[in-house]
A and B are shown apart, each in its own frame.
Chain A
């Protein structure tokens, strides 16, 4: 029973990280129809910047996270301006190729600066929490709490603020949005900034219980794509639910089947669900 709850916590942790990454990806897809493979590189760059701020500059963990979120948000905005905006109107394939190019470019730059070695980002929260007779590493609880706080914040931003509703408006009808005077390039920039910040925060939350290395974003972005296809491209609840489904499948799969197959489980589940529900769990886009 204890082991069972342990897997639930692991699933929640993984699911939280995946959901944050998938949310950014699905936002960009839902609004701009760009399959942004470089999102995985932004995740990785976020971890490296936090590692740099914390390790080399001595900034505390949460400060390093905030710094990484800002840097990656700016980087995401720059990628929109320099790479994706000039491709507006071109076939989606061009966006996709550009995104993969950007992913490889960022990985190469990071490797040139920090090398190909594995690094560890330290978190100050190394204690073990005892809760209802269960033991839980504090970092895992923090990941879950921080992810849910961010999702709630994103929800409130999108539903309650004017800027948030311009994002949803553009997702629901691009031309309608332009005709009420919503500036598409401003919405694109805000969307990229949000998605970059979410990726960075996810990476910095997860890094203390995993490793920091140049290719750390590759598997994450593939899984995030699986998640948003599962959840319905462009659907925010779908990204969260899909993230949790994959997180739980991995943690339970690793425990009850084998850790060796952990990464395959996500893809196997994907094939299974898509053959039953080809339009995903939540078809219908950004609401």
Chain B
């Protein structure tokens, strides 16, 4: 469904991604593990068309999308929920969600139905729908960010460190919601440092270090791997 081949990305002279190749099949939940600065966000930004690649291809549903505009990539079904959430803090929760459906603005009815499903997934967003997004707690803002991404009708959802800075209980809620979204058929690529929690809901995972994929495997293989346990789980 989504297949990256030899992605290379530079910031000036610095090579942030080095020939990254990976794939995600329909309905899979794939976790990207990596420490600070490994290149997870750069990878997602490159997929979304916000960073220019020096080399490589991105094929989505058998189509090359690596040189497409960000708006075309969203419209084609790859939606990115970024690190740091990037909400519109002065706008209401409802307006943030509706802007998530910007590329589907001609289908207002479809978006109205979808926003109800988002409120079903995160009931508290319904209570807060008229509050400015910036006034919500971190966990609530993360839910707005995920909800906004869902409004873009993703076939592939890129989630960049959704648990960052959240309390353990909230992390569990957020990961449960992600699992639920995935269970309804959406392919998910989830970048996390929180390896143990993320691997619990993963089908497969890749480990990225200094812009390179250094390991890949299914959940059990990675959970049992000594080096992973030492580097990311601390057990």
Interface string of A163-199 (1 = CB under 8 A from B): 0011011001101111111110000000000000000
Q: Nearest-CB distance from B123 to chain A (Å)?
A: 23
CB-contact partner of B91 in A162, A172, A178, A285, under 8 A? A172
Q: Nearest-CB distance from A85 to chain B (Å)?
A: 15
Q: Which residue of chain A is the closest to B69 with respect to CB atoms? A: A183
Flag if B99 contacts A165 (CB, 8 Å): yes
Main secondary structure of the interface of A (DSSP, over half): helix
Q: Which residue of chain A is the closest to B148 with respect to CB atoms? A: A180
Interface string of B207-230 (1 = CB under 8 A from A): 000000000000000000000000
Q: Contacts A172-B91, A173-B88 given: A178-B50 contact, CB under 8 Å? A: yes
> Which residues from A are CB-within-8-Å of B89?
172-173
Number of residues of chain A lying within 8 A (CB) of chain B = 20
Flag if A179 contacts B48 (CB, 8 Å): yes
Flag if B80 contacts A179 (CB, 8 Å): yes
Flag if B102 contacts A176 (CB, 8 Å): no
Flag if A169 contacts B99 (CB, 8 Å): yes
Residue A287 at the B interface, CB < 8 A? yes
> Which residues from A are CB-within-8-Å of B35?
none
Distance between Cα atoms of A173 and B144 in the complex (Å): 15
Interface string of B76-95 (1 = CB under 8 A from A): 00011010011111110001
Interfacial residues of chain A within 78-102, with CB under 8 A of chain B in the complex: none
Flag if B80 contacts A176 (CB, 8 Å): no
Q: Which residue of chain A is the closest to B79 with respect to CB atoms? A: A179
Number of residues of chain B lying within 8 A (CB) of chain A = 26
Flag if B90 contacts A172 (CB, 8 Å): yes
Distance between Cα atoms of A165 and B96 in the complex (Å): 10
Flag if A183 contacts B88 (CB, 8 Å): no
Interfacial residues of chain B within 74-122, with CB under 8 A of chain A in the complex: 74-75, 79-80, 82, 85-91, 95, 98-100, 102-103, 105
Flag if A181 contacts B87 (CB, 8 Å): no
CB-contact partner of B71 in A165, A169, A182, A284, under 8 A? A182
> Which residues from A are CB-within-8-Å of B80?
179
Flag if B95 contacts A180 (CB, 8 Å): no
Distance between Cα atoms of A162 and B95 in the complex (Å): 10
Residue B70 at the A interface, CB < 8 A? yes
Flag if A162 contacts B105 (CB, 8 Å): yes
CB-contact partner of A180 in B69, B85, B100, under 8 A? B100
> Which residues from B are CB-within-8-Å of A176?
82, 85-88
> Which residues from B are CB-within-8-Å of A183?
69, 71
Flag if B70 contacts A181 (CB, 8 Å): yes
Q: Nearest-CB distance from B14 to chain A (Å)?
A: 17
> Which residues from A are CB-within-8-Å of B39?
none
> Which residues from A are CB-within-8-Å of B70?
178-179, 181
> Which residues from B are CB-within-8-Å of A180?
74, 99-100, 102-103, 148, 152
Distance between Cα atoms of A177 and B89 in the complex (Å): 12
CB-contact partner of A175 in B50, B79, B98, under 8 A? B50
CB-contact partner of A168 in B82, B86, B91, B100, under 8 A? B91
Q: Nearest-CB distance from B166 to chain A (Å)?
A: 19
Q: Which residue of chain A is the closest to B75 with respect to CB atoms? A: A181
Flag if B102 contacts A181 (CB, 8 Å): yes
> Which residues from A are CB-within-8-Å of B105?
162
> Which residues from A are CB-within-8-Å of B50?
175, 178-179
> Which residues from A are CB-within-8-Å of B82?
175-176, 179
> Which residues from A are CB-within-8-Å of B148?
180
> Which residues from B are CB-within-8-Å of A172?
88-91
> Which residues from B are CB-within-8-Å of A168?
88, 90-91
Flag if B86 contacts A182 (CB, 8 Å): no
Flag if A287 contacts B90 (CB, 8 Å): yes
Selected A-B contacts with CB under 8 Å, 26 pairs:
A165-B98, A168-B90, A169-B88, A169-B91, A176-B86, A176-B87, A176-B88, A177-B88, A177-B99, A178-B48, A178-B50, A178-B71, A179-B74, A179-B82, A180-B74, A180-B103, A181-B70, A181-B71, A181-B103, A182-B71, A182-B99, A182-B102, A183-B71, A284-B90, A285-B90, A286-B90
Which B residues are closer than 8 A to A by beta carbons? 48, 50, 69-71, 74-75, 79-80, 82, 85-91, 95, 98-100, 102-103, 105, 148, 152
Q: What 9 pairs between A and B have smallest CB-CB spacing? A: A176-B86, A181-B74, A181-B103, A181-B71, A287-B90, A172-B88, A180-B102, A178-B70, A173-B86
